[in-house]
């Protein structure tokens, strides 16, 4: 007759496979939460960026009342050189020239813009009677004319054109309105002779 033996209870705890599955799920959730948080931060930054552009537009409108046109600087190669005409006479608030979503350094209040680096591109040569035309935008990938569907801002989050990482950017029009667009423009940003698109310093 076989001796009676008690069955050994199963060991408590998780198997190695279960632990690996849980760790993989946690990693996926972490990546999703980080991406969502990054997107939310950039949406907030784009709203504040829109406010900046509208404040710059007010300074440009006052300038245009004095000179009959938006700022123009002969031979300008960067947006800082053209928009420098606004500071300090038309605005001493230099914080508005730095995009909240970018990584550009602050500029001292009332300081000359051409000695620093701003965040915005400028369509130099626009007339004040062209309300539907773009006047400024977040830093663009290049200074070419762009029809709808063309890449305007970074697709990867890397420079150039990455004020808002890979989530697109804002465009200010000559009537003071601001529209946002993903990296591939949802509307035309084309321009003709007499207009020069100036990006900020690299």
pLDDT tens digit sequence for 9-59: 555 667 888 778 888 887 777 666 665 555 576 678 999 999 999 999 999
DSSP-assigned beta bridge partners for residue 197: 123
User: How far apart are the C-alpha atoms of 157 and 172, rounded to whole Å?
Assistant: 21
| pLDDT band at residue 68 using 50, 70 and 90 as cut-offs | very high
pLDDT band at 183 (very low <50, low <70, confident <90, very high): very high
Cα–Cα distance measured from residue 159 to residue 85, given in angstroms and rounded to the nearest whole number: 27
- State how far Cα 109 lies from the chain centre: 22
Q: In whole angstroms, give the CA distance from residue 178 to residue 137.
A: 9
Query: Which residues sit opposite 123 in a β-bridge?
Result: 197
pTM of the entire predicted model: 0.80
User: Under 8 Å CB-to-CB from 45, ≥6 apart: which residues?
Assistant: 99, 100, 101, 164
């Amino acid at each position: 007759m076989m001796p009676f033996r008690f069955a050994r209870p199963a060991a408590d705890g998780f198997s190695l496979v279960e632990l690996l599955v849980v760790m993989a799920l946690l990693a996926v959730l972490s990546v999703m939460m980080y991406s969502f948080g990054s997107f939310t931060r950039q949406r907030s930054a784009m709203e504040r960026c829109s406010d900046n552009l509208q404040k710059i537009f007010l300074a440009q409108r006052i300038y245009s009342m004095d000179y009959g046109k938006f700022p123009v600087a002969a031979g300008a190669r960067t947006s800082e050189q053209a928009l420098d005409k606004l500071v300090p006479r038309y605005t001493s608030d230099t914080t508005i020239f730095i995009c909240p979503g970018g990584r550009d350094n602050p500029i001292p209040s009332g300081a000359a813009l051409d000695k620093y680096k701003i965040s915005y591109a400028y369509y130099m040569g626009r007339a004040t009677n062209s309300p539907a035309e773009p006047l400024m935008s977040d830093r663009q990938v290049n200074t070419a004319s762009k029809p709808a569907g063309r890449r305007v801002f970074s697709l990867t989050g890397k420079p150039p054109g990455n004020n808002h990482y890979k989530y697109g950017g804002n465009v200010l029009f000559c009537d003071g309105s601001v529209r946002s667009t993903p990296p591939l423009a949802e509307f035309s940003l084309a321009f003709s002779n007499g207009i020069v698109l100036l990006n900020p310093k690299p």
